[in-house]
Structure 1
Amino acid sequence: MATKTIIVPEGMEFIRDELGYAPAVQVDTRLYIAGQIGRNDQRELVAEKEAQFVQVFENLKRILETAGSGFEDLVEITSYHTDMRDLPLYMEVRNRYMNGCYPAWTAIGAASLCGAPGYFLEVKGIAERV
């Protein structure tokens, strides 16, 4: 039988407690990471586009580290973009964190994210520790 663990980094408890879902769920050696957006620790949207992209990856990093993983363990990521012309900036920021890791990647255009203006990016992923 598989072992399932809810992963909730410090400061992200509101996601579970108020919004009703887990930032990530670990099933044995596989980690399913919910879509991360560019909110900081004060739950505020980071407005500037590059800084927002960085915040998305910082949020992913916190989840990965809480689960005892790292970016090198990502096997798949899906990114959602309100403007597909942002892909070069996205890839630049992503590469700062991936550091030579090459998970499978799908980019999807979205009319809006989080039902509010100003969100440019959301990223979800799957990591596997071997």
Structure 2
Amino acid sequence: MSDREAVIPPGMEAVYEKIRYSPAVKVGNTIYVSGQIGRNSAMQLIEPREAQIVQAFENLKQVLETAGASMRDVVDLTTFHTDLRDLPLFMQVRDRYFDSDPLPAWTAIGAHMLCGSPGYIIEIKAVAVLSK
């Protein structure tokens, strides 16, 4: 098996140290990004809805960049939504981050609650593959 490397961007150390998971794990040229939510580096929920979605994408982008990747390297995107009626807004924001071909595969899933806390509306999980 390839060597595994935890990817921990600056400001996300508490996720690894206190909550005990890696924001991402890099295995060879593949990066598995844990679900990113709309919270800032102080672990505070961002509101309103659009700002929370933007923050989740910014967190994803930060994790990818720390791993040496970009949004263009994402091949698979899984999103969890507490209200699927937010999909049009989510897709508008998503399209700001994924604006060139080929677009990643995408699965959207409805979820009752995210992170065990009320207020979170989106979680974004991704797999990225770096060019060899």
TM-score by length of 1: 0.97
Distance 2:71 2:61 in 1: 7
State the 4+ residue runs in structure 1 displaced beyond 4 angstroms: none
Q: How does 1:71-86 map to 2 (within 5 A)?
A: 71-86=71-86
- The corresponding residue for 2:10 is 10
Distance 2:84 2:26 in 1: 31
Task: Give deviations 1:22-74, integer Å, cap 9, x for gaps.
Answer: 00000000000000000012210002000000000000010010011000000
One-letter code of the match for 1:55?
A: Q
Aligned-residue CA RMSD in angstroms? 0.8
One-letter code of the match for 1:36?
A: Q
Distance 2:109 2:82 in 1: 9
One-letter code of the match for 1:51?
A: A
Q: CA deviation at 1:120?
A: 0.4
Q: CA deviation at 1:5?
A: 0.7
- The corresponding residue for 1:59 is 59
Structure 1 SS opposite 2:19: coil
Structure 1 SS opposite 2:32: strand
Distance 2:63 2:124 in 1: 12
Q: CA deviation at 1:98?
A: 1.1
Structure 1 SS opposite 2:125: strand
Sequence identity of aligned pairs in percent?
Answer: 51
One-letter code of the match for 1:88?
A: P
Point out where structure 2 has 5 or more consecutive residues left out of the alignment: none
Point out where structure 1 has 5 or more consecutive residues left out of the alignment: none
Q: CA deviation at 1:4?
A: 1.1
Structure 2 SS opposite 1:2: coil
Distance 1:52 1:24 in 2: 20
- The corresponding residue for 2:114 is 113
Q: CA deviation at 1:100?
A: 1.7
TM-score by length of 2: 0.96
